[in-house]
Amino acid sequence: MSSSVESQPNRASGGRRTTVLASRPLLGYRTVDLVSAAMLGVAFGVVFWAWSLVYNAPAAALYAVFPPLTALLAGPWLLAGVVAGLLVRRPGAALLAEVVAAAVSALIGSQWGWTVLLSGALQGVGVEIALALFAWRRFGPFVAVLAGSLAAACEVVFYEWWQYVVDFSWAWKLAYLGAFVVSGAVVAGLGGLLLVRALAKTGAANAMPPGQEELERSAV
């Protein structure tokens, strides 16, 4: 397929609203797709590092109230994968962005060192699962919330339960998981979707499917 994106009606009533899909085959990445995912990873890596600098104070306050509540602060670390997945709309984009972001934060000086690479990989896989469930054809609020939620669940269930909160009771571990998922759904899911839509409105994402959606809406 020669064009960079393709459109498919999102509503049956007149097809006025469209979902612009990544060009098929999905694994046929364009240079701009790879560069966009990687650059998002670099940008969010700096954000991750900055968030780690201010994380400890609010985390200590929440820990004093109820230790599992510290997971409410985790959402920003899930943003890279959600934003890349919703923006590039190709398999692997979310995973690439999260791993690059983790690597950048580690290089700058994350307090968790290179273990953040494992976290980045797990979070990226969670987003990929959510998008795969809809065959990379749906990118609305529900899918964004699911992506953030699964990124959080993968991080907690496969890593943090056994590394950071190993001494918690199972009741506390489940509460920790719930708080992490809420943060992932709201901050990374809905927040990531709003960020992608904001980028599309500025024209900065015109080469990406969300940018094409915005151009089509503006042309109506």
87 touches 40 (CB < 8 A): yes
Place of tokens 């089509």: 216
User: Given a cut of 50, is residue 150 above it in pLDDT?
Assistant: yes
- The predicted pLDDT at position 63 comes to 97
Rg (CA), the chain: 18
Provide mean pLDDT across the span 72-79. 97
Q: What is the pLDDT of residues 173-198, one digit of tens each?
A: 999 999 999 999 999 999 999 999 99
User: Given a cut of 90, is residue 214 above it in pLDDT?
Assistant: no
Q: At 220, is the pLDDT very low, low, confident or very high (cuts 50, 70, 90)?
A: low
More confident residue, 54 or 18: 54
Q: Is residue 16 one of the residues assigned to a domain? A: no
Q: Is residue 24 one of the residues assigned to a domain? A: no
Q: Two tokens at 41?
A: 């990873």
Q: At 4, is the pLDDT very low, low, confident or very high (cuts 50, 70, 90)?
A: very low
Provide mean pLDDT across the span 20-45. 91
Pairing label, strands 18-22, 5-9:
antiparallel
H helices of the chain, in order, are 31-65, 79-88, 93-108, 116-133, 141-155, 161-163, 170-183, 191-202, 209-219
Q: Is residue 9 one of the residues assigned to a domain? A: no
Total number of domains in the chain? 1
Q: Is residue 152 one of the residues assigned to a domain? A: yes
User: Given a cut of 50, is residue 1 above it in pLDDT?
Assistant: no
DSSP state letters, 95-120:
HHHHHHHHHHHHHHT-TTGGGHHHHH
The domain in which residue 176 lies consists of: 39-213
Reduced to 3 states (helix: H, G, I; strand: E, B; else coil), residue 90 is coil
User: Given a cut of 60, is residue 124 above it in pLDDT?
Assistant: yes
Q: Tell me the pLDDT of the chain averaged across its residues.
A: 91
- The predicted pLDDT at position 216 comes to 84
Q: Is residue 108 one of the residues assigned to a domain? A: yes
CA neighbours within 13 Å on the CB side: how many for 12? 0
Distances (CA, A) of 163 to 84, 112, 170, 211: 27, 12, 14, 40
